[in-house]
Amino acid sequence: MRELMSSSQILSSSAIRGPRTLLRQIRETMGAGGPTQEKLGSVVRTIAASMVAEVCSIYLRRASGEMELFATEGLAADAVHVTRMKPGEGLVGEIMRQGRPLNLMDAASHPAFSFRPETGEAPFHAFLGVPLLRGGRAIGVLVVQNRATRVYAEDDVEDLQIVAMVLAEMVAGGDLLDREELKDIELAPHRSERLKGAKFSDGLALGVAVLHEAPVQAGRLLADDVGAEEARLGRAVDSLRAQIDGMIEGHEGLVGPTFDVLETYRMLAHSRSWTRSLQDAVHSGLTAEAAVGRVRSEHRAGLGQARDPYLRERLHDLEDLNDRLLRHLSGDGAKARVLPPDAILIARNLGPADLLEYDRSRLRGLLLEEGSPASHAAIVARAMDIPCVGRLEGLRDRVSEGDSVIVDAESAEAYLRPRPDVVKAFTTRMVVRAQRRAAFARLRDTPAITRDGGAVSLLMNAGLAVDLDILPETGAQGIGLFRTEFQFMVSDALPKFQAQRELYDRVLSGAGPLGATFRTLDLGGDKVLPYMHAEREENPALGWRAVRMGLDRPALLRLQLRALIAAADGRSLRVMFPLVTSVDEFRAARALVDREIAWAVRRGRSPPARLEVGAMIEAPALIWHLDALLPLTDFVSVGTNDLNQYLFAADRGNPRVADRYDTLSPPFLRVLRDIRDACAASGTPVSVCGEMAGRPLEALALIALGYDRLSMPPTGIGPVKQMILSIDRDAVRRGLAPMLASTAGSVRGEIETLARKTAVDL
């Protein structure tokens, strides 16, 4: 807690003197009318006088990216609209690049300084420049200068930032410049852009941008009644704190953790430095909403560049806190935003609960600046069949609310404000894709049997209650993997026994005779719950997670097993444990199942009619101990996602190495072959439930290796079934066999050639 308090203190601003008089003078100048240039001149003179500065200048960014001097008091008047700097040039360019204030004792000594003789700035040493920020983007720079060699006070920096915020909205609203002058000013991104990222969830979508972080609306920046704004802010903060207190109340002590993370979040909400910053900003003349935006900027400047993941997580907490406060100010603290039709959600990152709050019927796609294919948002997006592209660098600052946006998750690209020809071509692709999906739908009731008579069971991966609604539509033969941790990840508190039992009962009832396989909690690693204590680990993927956590916290795992057994209520039950690394771990986990069965029988409750307990093969260590493991299991499932990352020592959440090693490589294919052979020799049923199973080419390789039970995302079932109906299993088995001896890093190209030669429909 001490460390967090110190970081909060770093974020806190000194008391803002309050540029209310200056803001009122600027507003009066705007209302006086007159030519544009005269109004601009009056504005910079007013600011210079208030700041006791000898120079005040406004620079705005042209569409070309150049920064143009639009108005000045103190520099040469004939330099206005003449002095232009290339993108990134000079101190003004440096401020634009960093998006932060620059406060210098001697401007000319800074390495980025660019001398412009036509401005007559040589005599001036002290320099303070702040960006004009709108919607997270810098559209210009406001500068004050003095002859004296000195550093401007913190209060001066704070005041100038507040003035810059208001000026940015005035420029955008046409109060400072007429429409003719504005036509070449880049108030918001307007050019067509294509961004390359990473595919998180397959699909195509075309719609309008909706920013997950709702911007402060123009026109609500300056307060008419400071006292009323202070009262509004106080009520909203009290409401927010009560909401957060309610999240914690009644959930302590169930499994032993001290709930440090949630307590930390509550501490932030009660932080005096945070509330003082908000109060000071309102006292300066801003509305409560503008004050939140002001404090948000401070948070980003203080922690945005932090490399420490702990501090980065605190920034995420602060961002969420500010978002929640804005909703309370608007009176919608408990309401989800209303989306327009065909909405494309834009965010830096999302938690699973954030995504589920939006109306699925209107949400067409998702674009993220950060994240990974294994992130919570990506997993939920795939489960909800929402196209998603992530790792789009600079996304949030390149798009504005209402922009036309394309999500191309097939090629992992995003198109911002696409040209008409791009939209036309993309629409054609969407039609073709829809036709293909219709063709897949027609195969729903067709058994997945190869041309030479080999039957393949196609199962569906699930994790949310909404998945059950689409099970009949997919043609899946059951749920091969139900990720039970999703219920925990989207909750604000640990789900209690009754809530777990009700969900598992619904899954069993929804699956019916097709059946469902429940994976016990796979938490830890990148799946950190906000209400459970989690120590920072150097390498969480190799740390305290999955069955290790369950065995160390047996109360947590036993509660889940008890809920599963109660939900079965005399029906068949299949349970498997994730990331089993040793035979002893499986023995210990299975012993907990036996204890819970005995507990239920002693109380006169019906045990499952048929109980099957299995293990997921994800840790390479098990590959050389299958002879000891398999006789103890009723079935096993290969988790190719984790097995691949552990086999190649490549973090699948790290963009630099996640795609470096191919699942269609000889080493990985040999491992899969050895697992299949061991299971066949012992008579142990085996399935594959990783992402690999849902991609036609990879599924072709799995079938050639002898796998006949594949579990995949719902969207993969149609394409994989179409592929299966077109193959001769023996032919592809013979074709793949020599590739396993290849010394190449990947045999993907060779498998594609094999598919073409054997007329496989991919």
Residues tagged active-site: 376, 689
Tokens 């004009």, residue located: 132
Give which of 311, 227, 335, 328 is closest to 269, Cα–Cα: 328
Opening angle at CA 298, ends 293 and 304, nearest 5? 110
Instruction: Give the SS3 label for residue 382.
Output: helix
Tokens 């604000």, residue located: 492
Query: For the sheet containing 388-390, what is the strand order?
Result: 193-196, 413-416, 404-408, 204-211, 343-347, 363-368, 388-390, 198-201
**531 Cβ contact list (under 8 Å, min separation 6):** 247, 248, 251, 257, 259, 261, 262, 492, 493, 494
* Packed helices 36-51 and 154-173: angle between N→C axes, nearest 10 degrees: 170
Tokens 């026109």, residue located: 219
Q: Which residue type is seen at 516?
A: A
In 10 A of CB 3, how many CB atoms?
11
Opening angle at CA 417, ends 412 and 418, nearest 5? 65
- Residue 237 token pair: 């903060």
CA distance 385 to 473: 13
Residue-by-residue DSSP string for 201-243: E--EEEEEEEESSPPPPTT-SB-S-HHHHHHHHHHHHHHHHHH
Give which of 669, 668, 707, 703 is closest to 685, Cα–Cα: 707
In 10 A of CB 678, how many CB atoms?
18
